[in-house]
């Protein structure tokens, strides 16, 4: 698969410990909302056994003019280099990859359950569905420790507030440790929380992504609640 040459336009902290990287979109690059790509540093000042690249979800929607990736910053050579980059830094992009994408039926009701950096492909899918004026009903359950840790929370809150087809249910597991006053849901996503916001758990198509433990717990909970496994789409984010 051919690679695309990119130069960093800008970067932005979108939550505590989470960095977004923005690039011009190559004219011949196309992808589906929810897909990922391999982003490779060109001649970085340091490297490690994991190499100079990572598979990252495309957090931008295909309808947006820029490409955007977001990642948690950890103590690895790759992440240290990302943190220190300035505009003009060079990358190679390979992809896209993956089938964690919107269903073909534009009327199918969707429920997204995600946590932490798992929001990246979900942001892409939600905003793309809105850009295409799809009439599907979408509900996003988005779990974080504190509001400060929740990437794109304000943006997605505003987007869903002006759409009659989108509902955002954000929940914080450590809201008491936040400097912000939190008035939304608290605790982990569970069956009781789903029942407060959904009229029929068995009807939607579910997208579950984020840390492996969250994905496994949500899958078990939904199957136990009577949701058919064929209605579950999953993607795990490990080692980010």
Residue 91 falls inside a structural domain: yes
Picking from 194, 99, 188, 209, the residue whose alpha carbon sits closest to that of residue 139 is: 194
pLDDT at 131 (0 to 100): 93
pLDDT at 80 (0 to 100): 92
**Structural domain containing residue 70:** 4-96
Residue 23 falls inside a structural domain: yes
Distance of CA 71 to the CA centre of its chain: 10
CA–CA dist 140, 168 (Å, integer): 5
CA–CA dist 235, 230 (Å, integer): 14
Q: Are 59 and 20 in contact (CB under 8 A)?
A: yes
pLDDT at 76 (0 to 100): 87
CA–CA dist 191, 224 (Å, integer): 10
Q: What is the CATH number of the domain that holds 24?
A: 2.40.30.10
Residues 117 and 226 in one domain: yes
Residues 164 and 196 in one domain: yes
Kindly report, residue by residue over 79-88, the tens digit of the pLDDT: 999 999 999 9
Residue 82 falls inside a structural domain: yes
Q: What is the CATH number of the domain that holds 206?
A: 3.40.50.80
Residues 134 and 207 in one domain: yes
Q: How is residue 158 written in tokens?
A: 């505003």
Residue 215 falls inside a structural domain: yes
Q: With pLDDT > 90 as the criterion, what percentage of the chain qualifies?
A: 90
Residues 84 and 117 in one domain: no
Residue 104 falls inside a structural domain: no
Helix (H, G, I), strand (E, B) or coil at 127: helix
Q: Does the pTM of the predicted model rise above 0.75?
A: yes
Residue 118 falls inside a structural domain: yes
pLDDT at 2 (0 to 100): 64
Residues 154 and 228 in one domain: yes
pLDDT < 50 regions, the chain: none
Residues 231 and 114 in one domain: yes
């Amino acid at each position: 698969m051919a690679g695309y040459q990119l130069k960093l336009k800008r970067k932005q902290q979108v939550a505590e410990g989470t960095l977004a990287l923005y690039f011009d979109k190559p004219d011949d690059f196309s992808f589906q909302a929810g897909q990922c790509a391999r982003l490779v540093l060109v001649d970085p000042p340091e490297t490690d056994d994991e190499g100079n690249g990572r598979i990252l979800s495309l957090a931008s929607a295909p309808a947006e003019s820029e490409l955007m990736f977001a990642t948690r910053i950890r103590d690895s050579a790759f992440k240290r280099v990302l943190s220190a980059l300035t505009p003009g830094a060079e990358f190679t992009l390979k992809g896209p990859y993956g089938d964690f994408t919107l269903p073909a039926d534009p009327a199918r009701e969707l429920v997204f359950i995600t946590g932490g950096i798992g929001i990246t492909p979900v942001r892409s899918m939600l905003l793309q569905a809105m850009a295409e004026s799809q009439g599907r009903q979408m509900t996003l359950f988005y779990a974080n420790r504190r509001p400060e840790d929740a990437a794109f929370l304000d943006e997605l809150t505003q987007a869903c507030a002006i759409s009659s087809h989108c509902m955002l249910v954000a929940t914080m597991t450590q809201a008491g440790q936040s400097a912000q006053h939190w008035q939304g849901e608290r605790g982990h996503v569970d069956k009781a929380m789903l029942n407060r916001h959904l009229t029929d758990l068995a009807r939607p198509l579910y997208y579950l992504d984020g840390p492996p433990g969250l994905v496994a717990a949500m899958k078990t909970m939904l199957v136990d609640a009577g949701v058919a496994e064929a209605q579950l789409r999953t993607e795990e984010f490990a080692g980010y």
